[in-house]
């Protein structure tokens, strides 16, 4: 990451002050509070936490405020702060099957056990500006503790009865062996920690998924879109998308068992794609998987598409599309790295540019000096009479 800045100290301090003024805006307008950002910009908070690799809505709100709404800059800030935190251990794998759901849909089965839970989504809105939002307080929703009859919790808030069971949609396919198994193989090594170790190639699927989980949403969206436009050979179906709360457990050595240390919001997506099979395997569906912090369906879906695309070689498929190239995908999907490399071009490059400038001047001077000689040689060729060519006799 290129972050070094050279220049006059006073000019840099003045730049800081100008930045603070620009971020604050008109002082006559009330300043945004962290609570307002956290509660009223949840999708921005979710993305910053996911790509910043740190689940903390308060710190994500602080980063967004400091970055004046620039999400990539906020992600950079959150990652930088993350490196200062102590590491106490690693939690147990999340049990997303026991998620307390706010939303759960499937595009593969109309009637699934537990039903379709639409939850909060823009999918069915008309994408028209709502000018009623111009009036403050005109669109205040229900209080957080208002009872709801939705089947989006483990216990129905109105009746107190348990919510309908919501098994995974892919389990319906697993029952008929129509989708690849996702069981952890014996001896499977612990996944690497890309927040503490550099990415190395070849990268296993665990490392790839970890990389994608904190990759830039826009990049993954573009690459996922490309696989559907012919730059790939998969036809995906959204088997299931889940958004809700899941418990986080930490195994405590002194106790000898895992304890729940908190709860986080996550979005999970399972894509299934057709697979023709091979001489050793029967035709079946294969999986693409996505899991991100917070509410981020577009990111989770794009991640699942990218995951499946990068498995082309593993499944014996053609891997000539951009999304199939593991090295390309992993090394170019990180917005902090990409932003740093692009923005470092704003920093002083005086020495490099002067060296290129002098080289360019010397080459042009050499070309100019050699031009008269080349023109003289061309003139001599033009003045040389053309010798008559012998002609063949024509037989009468």
- pLDDT tens for each residue of 251-278: 999 999 999 999 999 999 999 998 777 7
Give the span between the Cα atoms of 199 and 207, in whole angstroms. Answer: 8
Give the tens place of pLDDT for each residue, 99-153.
999 999 999 988 888 889 999 999 999 999 989 988 887 666 555 443 333 444 4
Give the span between the Cα atoms of 244 and 166, in whole angstroms. Answer: 13
Give alpha helix (H) positions in 157-216: 170-174, 205-213
Copy the structure tokens of residue 348. 């002083």
Q: Which residues pair with 91 in a beta bridge?
A: 250
In a domain, 309, yes or no: yes
In a domain, 391, yes or no: no
Residues 140 and 53 both lie in one domain: no
Residues 217 and 315 both lie in one domain: yes
C-alpha separations of 123 from 105, 287, 290, 340, 343 in Å: 12, 24, 19, 34, 35
- Number of domains forming the structure of the chain: 2
Residues 73 and 139 both lie in one domain: no
Q: Which residues pair with 286 in a beta bridge?
A: 273
Q: Average pLDDT over the chain, rounded to whole?
A: 86
- What are φ and ψ of residue 117, in 5° steps? -110, 105
In a domain, 368, yes or no: no
Residues 141 and 73 both lie in one domain: no
CB 281 within 8 A of CB 341: no
| Domain termination residue (choose one: 303, 320, 344) | 344
In 3D space, the residue among 197, 192, 184 whose CA is nearest the CA of residue 209 turns out to be 192
Domain that holds residue 51: 9-82
Give the tens place of pLDDT for each residue, 311-328.
999 888 888 999 999 999
Q: Which residues pair with 285 in a beta bridge?
A: 179, 274
In 3D space, the residue among 58, 67, 51 whose CA is nearest the CA of residue 293 turns out to be 51
Residues 75 and 118 both lie in one domain: no
How many Å separate Cα 44 from the centre of its chain?
Answer: 13
In a domain, 1, yes or no: no
Instruction: Decide: residue 45, CB within 10 A, 0-12 exposed, 13-18 middle, 19+ buried.
Output: buried
Residues 147 and 293 both lie in one domain: yes
For 209-236, what is the mean pLDDT? 92
Residues 167 and 24 both lie in one domain: no
3 state SS of 106: coil
Residues 235 and 291 both lie in one domain: yes
Residues 40 and 124 both lie in one domain: no
In a domain, 110, yes or no: yes
Residues 68 and 138 both lie in one domain: no
Peptide linkage before 202 cis (omega within 30 of 0): yes
Residues 60 and 101 both lie in one domain: no
Largest CA distance in the chain: 118
What's the pLDDT at 371?
76
């Amino acid at each position: 990451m290129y972050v070094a800045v050279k220049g006059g100290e006073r000019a840099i301090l003045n730049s800081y002050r100008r930045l603070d003024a620009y971020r604050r805006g008109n002082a006559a307008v009330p300043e945004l509070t962290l609570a307002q950002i956290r509660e009223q910009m949840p999708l921005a908070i979710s993305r910053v936490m996911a790509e910043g690799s740190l689940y903390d809505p308060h710190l994500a709100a602080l980063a967004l405020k400091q970055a004046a709404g620039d999400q990539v800059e906020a992600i950079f800030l959150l990652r930088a702060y993350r490196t200062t935190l102590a590491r106490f251990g690693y939690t147990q794998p999340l049990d997303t099957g026991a998620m307390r759901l706010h939303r759960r849909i499937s595009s593969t089965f109309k009637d699934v056990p537990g039903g379709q839970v639409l939850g909060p989504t823009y999918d069915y809105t008309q994408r028209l500006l709502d000018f009623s939002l111009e009036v403050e307080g005109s669109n205040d929703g229900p209080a957080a503790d208002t009872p709801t009859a939705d089947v989006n919790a483990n216990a129905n808030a109105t009746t107190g009865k348990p919510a309908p069971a919501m098994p995974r949609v892919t389990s319906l396919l697993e029952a008929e062996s129509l989708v690849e198994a996702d069981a952890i193989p014996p001896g499977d090594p612990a996944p690497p920690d890309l927040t503490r170790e550099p990415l190395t190639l070849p990268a296993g699927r665990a490392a790839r998924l970890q990389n994608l989980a904190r990759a830039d949403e826009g990049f993954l969206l573009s690459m996922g879109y490309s696989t559907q436009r012919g730059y790939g050979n998969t036809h995906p179906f959204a088997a299931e998308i889940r958004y809700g709360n899941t418990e986080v457990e930490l195994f405590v050595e002194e106790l000898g068992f895992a304890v729940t240390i908190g709860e986080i919001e996550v979005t999970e997506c399972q894509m299934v794609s057709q697979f023709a099979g091979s001489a050793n395997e029967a035709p079946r569906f294969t999986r693409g998987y996505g899991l991100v912090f917070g509410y981020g369906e577009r990111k989770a879906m794009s991640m699942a598409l990218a995951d499946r695309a990068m498995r082309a070689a593993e499944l014996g498929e053609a891997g000539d599309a951009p999304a199939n190239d593991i090295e390309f995908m992993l090394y170019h999907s990180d917005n902090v790295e990409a932003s740093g490399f692009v923005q470092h071009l704003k920093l002083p490059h005086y020495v490099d540019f002067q060296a290129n400038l002098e080289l360019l001047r010397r080459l042009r001077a050499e070309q100019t000096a050699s031009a008269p000689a080349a023109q003289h040689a061309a003139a001599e060729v033009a003045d040389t009479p053309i010798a008559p060519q012998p002609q063949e006799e024509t037989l009468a």
